Amino acid sequence: MSELEYVMRAKGISRVYKGEVPVYALKNTNIDFKKGEFTAIIGKSGSGKSTLLRILATLDRSDTGELWIEGKDVLKASDKELAQFRRRRIGYVYQDYNLFPEYTSYENIVFPIHLDGRTEDPDHIENLLNKLGIEHCRNKFPHEMSGGEQQRVSIARALAASPAVILADEPTGNLDVENATKVAEILRFCCDEFKQTIVMVTHDNGIAGYADRIVRIVDGVVSEEA
Ligand SMILES: Nc1ncnc2c1ncn2[C@@H]1O[C@H](COP(=O)(O)OP(=O)(O)O)[C@@H](O)[C@H]1O
Ligand SMILES: [Mg+2]
C-alpha cells in the first residue's frame, strides 16, 4: 500500500508525564489510519487512550517518534504552523462538548473558521445543521439545549472546516442510548459520504460496532483486535 493511502501514521510514539513518579502513558506505539477508515479505540481507564488521541490531534506532542498526517511530518512543524494545520485539517470532539457558554450554536460552529482568519460558507453550515438535525438549535445557547443537541453542535463545529481527520474522545460518554446511537451514525455517515477518517475512543461495545476496525490499547501499547 502506498504512503498516500494512509492519511495518518504514528511511529514509535512515547509520552511520559513527569512528576514525583513518572507515568509512562504511551510506550513506543505504532498506529496507522487509512483514508476514509473508521477506527474505534477501546481500553481500560488509564490505558492511554486520551493521551494518544490528543497527540494524533496535535493538541499535545509526543516525547519520541514520528507523526505523519496527510504526508506532513507534524512533529517537525512549529507551534504556529501546527495550529493552522490543526484548524484546517483536524476536527476534535470532546466528551463534554466544550462549547462556549456565551455563544450560540452558530457562533460556536464558525468560531474555528473565524479564528483562522476566514469567513464561513453559510450554505455549508446550513447543510451541516440540516444533516445533524439541529437547525432548530441555530440561535440557542448551550444551556438551552439537551446533551445530545450540544454534542451534535460540537460535531458540526468539528466538521465546519471539512477536516481530513475527525478525532472523538468518548463522544457518547455522557449521552443516553438514543443520542449515543445518533452520534455514532453521524460519524459513520461522515466516513461513508465524505471519506473522512474517523478515530473514536469509546467504552461502549455497541458504539464501537459502528467502526470498520477496533484497536485496543493496554498500558500504553496499541494492538489490533482480531
Ligand atoms: N496531565 C497528566 N499528568 C500526569 N499524568 C497524566 C496526565 N494525563 C494522563 N495521565 C496519566 O496517564 C495515564 C494515561 O491516561 P489517559 O491517556 O488519560 O488514559 P485513558 O484516556 O485511557 O483513561 C494514566 O495513568 C493517567 O493518570
Ligand atoms: Mg480518557
pLDDT score of 203 = 87
Contact 172, 202 (CB under 8 A): yes
Give the integer Cα–Cα distance in Å for 113 and 21.
Answer: 40
Which atom of ligand 1 lies closest to the CA of 48? 17
For residue 42, the ligand closest to its alpha carbon is 1
Which atom of ligand 1 is nearest the CA belonging to 220?
14
- Rounded to whole angstroms, what are the CA distances from 1 to 33, 70, 82, 110, 166? 12, 15, 27, 37, 22
Going by C-beta distance under 8 Å and a sequence separation of 6 or more, which residues neighbour residue 149? 134, 137, 140
Predicted structure pTM score: 0.94
Ligand 1 centroid–CA 54 distance in Å is 11
Q: Looking at residue 224, what is its pLDDT?
A: 78
What DSSP line would sit under the chain, residue for residue?
--GGGEEEEEEEEEEEE-SSS-EEEEEEEEEEEETT-EEEEE--TTSSHHHHHHHHTTSS--SEEEEEETTEEGGGS-HHHHHHHHHHHEEEE-TT----TTS-HHHHHHHHHHHTT----HHHHHHHHHHTT-GGGTT--GGGS-HHHHHHHHHHHHHTT--SEEEEESTTTTS-HHHHHHHHHHHHHHHHHH--EEEEE-S-HHHHTTSSEEEEEETTEEEE--
Q: All 3 cell numbers of residue 98?
A: 466544550
> 4-18: per-residue pLDDT in tens?
589 999 999 999 999
Q: How far apart are CA 124 and CA 141, in angstroms?
A: 21
**How many C-beta neighbours within 10 Å does residue 148 have?**
20
Give me the pLDDT at residue 4, please: 55
Condensed to tens digits (0 to 9), the pLDDT of residues 174-195 reads: 999 999 999 999 999 999 998 9
Q: Mean pLDDT, to the nearest integer, of 51-70?
A: 96
Q: Flag whether pLDDT at 127 surpasses 60.
A: yes
Pocket flag, ligand 1, residue 163 (CB < 6 Å): no
- The mean pLDDT of 35-52, rounded to a whole number, is 96
pLDDT for res 226: 54
Give, using CA atoms, the residue closest to atom 14 of ligand 1: 48
Structural domains in the chain plus CATH codes: 35-63+88-224 (3.40.50.300)
Kindly tell me if the per-residue pLDDT of 104 is higher than 70. yes
- Return the percentage of the chain with pLDDT > 90, whole number: 93
pLDDT for residue 1: 47
